[in-house]
Amino acid sequence: MPRKTALEATRNIGIMAHIDAGKTTTTERILFYTGKIHRMGEVHEGASTMDYMEQERERGITITSAATTTYWRGCRINIIDTPGHVDFTVEVERSLRVLDGAVAVFCAKGGVESQSETVWHQAEKYHVPRIAYVNKMDIVGADFGNVMEMMRTRLGAKPAAIQLPIGVESSFRGVIDLVEMCARVYYDEEGEDVRREEIPEDMLDEAEAARNELIEAVADEDDELTMLYLDGEEIPNDMLKRAIRSAAINNHAVPVCCGSSYRNKGVQPLLDAIVDYLPSPLDVPPVEATSRDGKKTIEVHPSDDEAFSALAFKIVSDSYVGKLAFCRVYSGTVKVGQVVLNCNKAKRERITKILLMHADSRTEVEEAYAGDIVAFVGLRDTVTGETLASEGRPLLMESMEFPEPVIKIAIEPKTKAGQEKLTAALAKLSEEDPTFRTYADSETGQTIIAGMGELHLDIIVDRLIREFKVECRVGKPQVAYRETIRKTVRTVGSYIRQSAGAKGIYGHCVVEFSPGEPGSGFKFENLTAPDVLPEEYAAAVKQGIIEASASGALGGYEVIDFSAKLVGGSVNETDSCEMAYKVAGSLAFREACAKGDPALLEPFMNCEIVVPDEFLGDIMGNLNSRRGQILETEIRPGSQQCIHALVPLKEMFGYATDLRSRTQGRGTFSMHFDHYEEVAGNLVDKILGIIY
């Protein structure tokens, strides 16, 4: 069956932003104006299409990324609406990994906020072309120029306005198109009566100057355009559009639109910009993959004629069809019933259904093509980040890296019968979410769940109760501490066992352990010659150190930021074995932990707190009492102050409630993990006392 939409007319985009910037409302308007839905739902009423989970509708926030497909001007637009809350950053990360372009939504008042920076840098990491949409132009304090300036200073971006707002705050009524040099004015509340008019007289000079700035920003993309501009001649609109598109796709500039999604103004021009300036799969470089042995580089081209390849970027447990694997098809085609290869595990998987998703509803299709984003049913062993390919051309695409959890709580079922249900539910949830971990505490026997923040774990517990019908008790949140060493030590690991008449066991190594730079992780270096210690024994020593580092000498926490140099050892020709050297490595590490001046580390969070001017002093004093380090304060529109601070995670439990009570409900904050830092000496005993 031939594809319905040509590849060059396909757009795979994500909507990304800080919490409350209006991503989901913007997506809702896009679906309405493209005819996908016939009634606009509001986030604050719990009626939006893309926020389909009960927890999302109750809280008015997006928790999980949702996919949908719609059409505009003959283009097929595959959209992923992503969360804005920092606890769910992984949803943005894995979505951007498979998208060709993105729309970054900024609040016209708040501008570039903390999570805006996070998602922007995630897009930079994957070289995703972006356009910006300055939303909420109708609210008090809206400032289009200020948002552009913040994009330059805080993001290091090169914004190029392709629109200007007509009016601001309550007088906002439309936009000036700087390419067509006309005004688009809205005359009804639904945003469907849009009239093309002459630019208002009082804005003509501003529009001319802004158009010249736009041309200068993209002039390097087209020599002919540059010559026309320097000669003072009129530049054709089509030529200017091509230059803007080239600048956006090559990440040389970021086209900037504006509007008010809630007031239904500016969404259609945004859709035009998505079609005109964001890339199709053919406009981005081919994906670089490797052969399964990692020795050969394979280029994956977006073509239906190539062998099939796809990347699984999200797993969802569905109560009706079971496990859904959301995949981006990069090349070739795949049909229902076809057997594909999971290249990471070298296992064959049969695709029993192919689904086109629209939030939580789905449409079955018989075939998927290059450039499609679909959900496969029937993949038993596939997890997030794994590559699927035809058996004739196995390959591995670059996988995704996910941050480690920073907060944990103990959980237990209320009844014995609930233990099995709890175990099964936690297994499904951890398969869905790579930043969620669950394990049994070896000392207490308790089931521990770990995540990215209080809200993250709150949602997990809520889902356990509602979706999986598991009644459970939850302990207080605990911090995921770490340990490290502070001085260099050389230790000997020796594991030698002799028994009469039987083969003995022999493992002997000498390792030098040194503290590393914060964030450096674990580094291993083998300085022994192969005739002193064969490579397989050195690898066993390394593995023994890695496994032993899961539990340190102070509180049993994972040991990080250290290096190990294997400097010596010996071999017994008859008794040496890999297992013995693994044990020897772990013994050497444990001795180093005891002698290496161990230190306890705690996670510090990068916090952004926005409060009205009158509460600034009280909030800063409160942060100091929480062992916070104030980095800077900045003035925001509307008599607001933004405080940037580093605060230990332990001190931030319950902060949302405290902040609301101190600011009469007007303060907001967000935080994300920044780094691990040594715990002050006077607090170590107190913390370890709590542990034991």
692 pLDDT tier (thresholds 50, 70, 90) = very low
H helix or E strand, kind and range, residue 584: helix 578-595
- Global pTM reads 0.75
Which pLDDT belongs to residue 346? 92
Q: Per-residue pLDDT for 519 more than 50?
A: yes
Residues 502, 447: Cα–Cα separation, whole Å: 42
259 pLDDT tier (thresholds 50, 70, 90) = very high
Which pLDDT belongs to residue 250? 95
Cα angle 470, 471, 474 (rounded to 5 degrees) comes to 110
DSSP structural state of residue 284: S
Which pLDDT belongs to residue 51? 57
Interval 194-215 mean pLDDT: 95
Tell me if 272 sits within 8 A of 240, measured CB to CB: no
Residue type, 692: Y
Question: CA dist 262 to 49, 163, 314, 612, Å?
Answer: 15, 18, 30, 24
Which pLDDT belongs to residue 73? 93
Interval 193-211 mean pLDDT: 95
Which pLDDT belongs to residue 500? 65
Interval 405-427 mean pLDDT: 87
Place of tokens 């010559």: 227
- 3-state DSSP assignment of residue 578: helix
For the segment 7-47, what is each residue's pLDDT rounded down to a tens digit?
999 999 999 988 888 888 999 999 999 988 877 766 545 45
Tell me if 586 sits within 8 A of 548, measured CB to CB: yes
Question: CA dist 437 to 8, 170, 401, 407, 480, Å?
Answer: 40, 47, 15, 10, 12
- 3-state DSSP assignment of residue 228: helix
Which pLDDT belongs to residue 691? 47
Which pLDDT belongs to residue 43? 55
Highest mean pLDDT (candidates 118-132, 194-208, 397-411): 194-208
Q: Are strands 482-485 and 182-186 parallel, antiparallel or unpaired?
A: unpaired
Residues 1, 652: Cα–Cα separation, whole Å: 56
For the chain, the average pLDDT equals 89
Interval 493-503 mean pLDDT: 82
Residues paired with residue 648 on neighbouring β-strands, in sequence order? 604
Interval 276-286 mean pLDDT: 95
Residue type, 151: M
59 pLDDT tier (thresholds 50, 70, 90) = low
Residue 197: other Cβ atoms inside 10 A:
13
DSSP 1-35: ---SS-GGGEEEEEEEESTTSSHHHHHHHHHHHTT
60 pLDDT tier (thresholds 50, 70, 90) = low
Residues 631, 547: Cα–Cα separation, whole Å: 37
Percent of the chain at pLDDT exceeding 70: 94
Interval 69-95 mean pLDDT: 84
406 pLDDT tier (thresholds 50, 70, 90) = confident
Residues 361, 399: Cα–Cα separation, whole Å: 28
Q: Nearest to residue 372, comparing CAs of 2, 11, 651, 125?
A: 11
Angle between helix 237-249 and 267-277 (nearest 10): 70
- 3-state DSSP assignment of residue 248: helix
Question: CA dist 488 to 53, 527, 559, 642, Å?
Answer: 52, 16, 15, 42
Residues paired with residue 522 on neighbouring β-strands, in sequence order? 562
Interval 80-101 mean pLDDT: 82
DSSP structural state of residue 557: P
